[in-house]
Chains A and B, each alone.
Chain A
Amino acid sequence: AQSVTQPDIHITVSEGASLELRCNYSYGATPYLFWYVQSPGQGLQLLLKYFSGDTLVQGIKGFEAEFKRSQSSFNLRKPSVHWSDAAEYFCAVGAFHFGNEKLTFGTGTRLTIIP
């Protein structure tokens, strides 16, 4: 069965600083990997996804993530965070279950931005 680990429960960074959120996955086949963001009281919004091809994936809001098979990682990065980036970030791995994609989520990383 697939699983996702987000080692950092809570990260605090200064506005304008760079950001890296860690994600490690476990899956027997080639994974489909996702990063979602959840703002307070809101639903989840897809930031980016990796299915195949280039291991460096660009997403919305200036985010990118790099798939590293050897490390089973899919870390999310942003060169300069904005106060509006404060939110909960979820990494997920997609697996196919009777033809349907089943997403397994990590426990999330809460990002706090300080001025």
Chain B
Amino acid sequence: DTAVSQTPKYLVTQMGNDKSIKCEQNLGHDTMYWYKQDSKKFLKIMFSYNNKELIINETVPNRFSPKSPDKAHLNLHINSLELGDSAVYFCASSHTATDTQYFGPGTRLTVL
């Protein structure tokens, strides 16, 4: 009965590879988000989607492409991975754009 789930939990890959992180919420929320937490624990929003429509795109390199096949899913695809992409990526969701955001457990991405 996990509210916001992410897969995988850990992802180790080589520079230049393409990888995806999946996020699913079973809360019936309309809005979903991706955040990046760097090695200093600084959390920054990357994207938000409302009813499958991109609302916020925070100057993220276009190697990062979110995809929302339906309201319950927001996947993050990353092309040509770089060392600086190593971080913990959190998915979150909220009932509406103004409601409390609920976070997933995070995906730790390590680029070698």
Chain B count of residues within 8 A CB distance of the other chain: 25
Residues A100 and B48 in contact, CB atoms below 8 Å apart: yes
Flag whether B103 is at the interface (Cβ < 8 A): yes
- How far is it, in angstroms, between the C-alpha of A61 and the C-alpha of B30 when the chains are bound? 28
Which of the residues B42, B100, B104 comes within 8 Å of A46, measured between beta carbons? B100
Which of the residues A42, A43, A99, A103 comes within 8 Å of B50, measured between beta carbons? A99
Q: Pick from A11-19, A21-29, A69-77, A90-98 the stretch touching chain B.
A: A90-98
Residues A103 and B101 in contact, CB atoms below 8 Å apart: yes
Which of the residues A44, A49, A100, A107 comes within 8 Å of B97, measured between beta carbons? A100
Residues A43 and B94 in contact, CB atoms below 8 Å apart: no
Chain A count of residues within 8 A CB distance of the other chain: 24
Contact with B along A93-115 (1 / 0, CB 8 A): 00011111111110110000000
Which of the residues B42, B97, B101, B103 comes within 8 Å of A99, measured between beta carbons? B97
- How far is it, in angstroms, between the C-alpha of A104 and the C-alpha of B101 when the chains are bound? 12
Closest B residue to A105 by beta carbon equals B43
Residues A102 and B105 in contact, CB atoms below 8 Å apart: no
Q: Nearest chain B CB to A109's CB is how many angstroms away?
A: 10
Besides A32-B98, A42-B105, A108-B41, 9 other CB < 8 A contacts?
Answer: A44-B103, A46-B100, A97-B55, A100-B31, A100-B48, A101-B94, A102-B45, A102-B48, A107-B40
- Residues of chain B touching chain A, judged by Cβ–Cβ distance below 8 Å, are 4, 31, 40-45, 48, 50, 55-56, 90, 92, 94, 97-106
- Residues of chain A touching chain B, judged by Cβ–Cβ distance below 8 Å, are 32, 34, 36, 38, 42-46, 49, 88, 90, 96-105, 107-108
27 A-B residue pairs with CB within 8 Å: A34-B100, A36-B103, A42-B106, A43-B103, A43-B105, A44-B43, A44-B90, A45-B103, A88-B41, A96-B97, A96-B98, A97-B55, A98-B56, A100-B48, A100-B97, A101-B94, A101-B97, A101-B98, A101-B101, A102-B48, A103-B45, A105-B42, A105-B43, A107-B41, A108-B41, A108-B42, A108-B43
